[in-house]
Structure 1
């Protein structure tokens, strides 16, 4: 078995109220008064209070922009090359901040980086080793472009490594700079994604033994399935002016129709029943998705409170978000006890549904 022994999270310094971001978007899209009202209603409906970005522009006026051009229509709109240069500039410091929040690191044997919002080579894995002066013989794996469920694949890889080598000490780092990919289009998909996504990083230490000094989360079981009928409803494409997200209103219906069978199989695989689950760590992909999960699994808003808390305070940070949710759970000492089981799920392109069971030890 393998164990999460520490979770460190980090967000950029720039924090913006949701309504302020809406005003930036309305200006950038040169909306009329009617469309502005509709956009602000959309932003209010997300139940997000604030989001973080590596860019300062979302809180500035046109003549103060640093990343976007100081023009009314933001032309010439930043190219994919400019956005990847920004990713390279900002991703590493955010990773290092999350790793620092883990506490004292043991002798790391493996590093797994997870991201779907940027890439370059030599990449984050090598830069982290160089910055922290870690052993250059550390084994490195990069998990890219898997979207919001990417953390699950990072944890599954760490689990396999620790089961094969019980002395392994695996550092998993998820970093997403979603706000680099703002798209200046009026399509419903882009309006919604612009309203949800944010920047953040999370680091996790996974080992073959639980922590001797604090709480650990045992990685008990994983289960994944594909709902190919939703392949066109959630997608992530590299375009000339950033990565373009397809995110249709049909996704909550797909999640609602598939998550019960998914979690039933997950529970069956590890010999548990629904009543054995005490806590829920759902990826807060959006309010409608959380509500669909509650209906399908017959759980309450209170059961889902950790996901709502992270959605409210941070928005959707893609792969890093579910690790923020797990951290919120283990820090809620008054309501968390030894041997409780946590059910966690996330969703992404495919349509992919990922799930896992963790146990507090």
Structure 2
């Protein structure tokens, strides 16, 4: 399998973390939450947390505090198909392919629900064929991009398709929830809205840099499921985020990496680019320590976190795009995502 094109999309409105703190202070929710909640939000939004701004599908920050099931559902329905379509179109343009060349589409999300699924809306928006194979994956959280791509790989390896469009889209502002729990508050301060897409092909395209998917591995630890997950409360998604997440991410990411490197006969220091999901600043610090690498190796993840916040499943498309735009050195690249489950996935890429 080869990556033929990458595309990303975010809503037009960008909000600094200081803007979010001011809007929170002026909202009714500030009075409804206690002093500890105020202190947590202030610390996350005004100190260095690795994030400077986020793009949100809102006309104003006042809207983010309209938290009820119908409002959040409408927000997802309005923005998820559009963001996914825009990312998909950019991926097709980079691959130099017309929409009718796509044989299958795989769409992942965890921040909303549609039936019929998002895949049909995205296929319609892009003008894909009526006989396209369409798959909707849900419930995989921040980790979803690599399972999405592995399904595409299976379709390509089975010679059922020549080109598959992989899309991850998250409208995290449609999964907003507030209460006095520190994990809930931190989540509300970290996540942004966006979509990423990749055209995955059975053969390489001459129009782009050659990116070959060589090997991959997954690890799901159900005993740590409650460390990071969504739960349903009052008809809305409430994010559970615990202090163990940075080290869980680092431990699982290293286990997946080591297994693939042993199988491939490649040493860790041979990795020339690290395309890592960044749950937050503390997650990146844990990865640096666990992998024995420095901040420079995770510069693309840190830059995307700074500019967009945690985009959940869409994040690694942004990181891969950033590395390609920077003309990162070729060779072995490591692509990894992790999240709810607790799950972790990794893939070894060969980039020429």
Task: Report the TM-score, using the length of structure 2 for normalisation.
Answer: 0.92
For the 8 Å contact 2:105–2:132, the answer to whether it is kept is yes
* Whole-Å separation in 2 of the counterparts to 1:131 and 1:346: 27
The within-5 A match list for 1:1-361 is: 2-26=1-25, 27=27, 28-30=29-31, 36-43=38-45, 44-58=47-61, 60=62, 65=63, 68-69=65-66, 77-79=67-69, 81-102=70-91, 103=93, 104-106=96-98, 107-165=101-159, 168-333=162-327, 335-337=328-330, 340-361=331-352
**Residue-by-residue CA offset, 1:107-130 (whole Å, 9 max, x unaligned):** 110010111111212222112222
| Aligned-partner SS, 2:68 | coil
1:109-165 residue CA offsets vs partner (Å, 9 max, x unmatched): 001011111121222211222233321000011111100010001110111111111
Q: Secondary structure at the match of 1:232?
A: helix
Size of the aligned set, in residue pairs, is 343
CA distance in 1, matches of 2:41, 2:86: 34
Gaps of 5+ in 1: 70-76
The aligned counterpart of 1:73 is none
C-alpha deviation, 1:36, in angstroms: 3.8
1-side partners of 2:217 and 2:35: how far apart? 47
> Which shifted more, 138-147 or 81-90?
81-90
TM-score, normalised to structure 1, is: 0.90
Partner SS state of residue 256, structure 2? helix
- Measured in 2, the distance between the counterparts of 1:152 and 1:11 equals 20
- Structure with the larger helix share: 2
- 1:22–1:195 contact (8 Å) kept in structure 2: no
How far is the alpha carbon of 1:240 from its aligned partner?
2.2
CA RMSD of aligned residues (A): 1.9
Query: How far apart, CA to CA, are the structure 2 residues paired with 1:262 and 1:133?
Result: 37
State the 1:261 CA deviation.
Answer: 2.6
| Alignment gaps of 5+ in structure 2 | none
Shift in Å at residue 263 of structure 1?
1.2
Tell me, yes or no, if the aligned pair for 1:166 and 1:207 is still in contact at 8 Å.
no
Measured at CA, do residues 170 and 313 of structure 1 come closer, stay the same or move farther in structure 2, by a change above 3 Å? Answer: same
Post-superposition offset of 1:68: 4.9
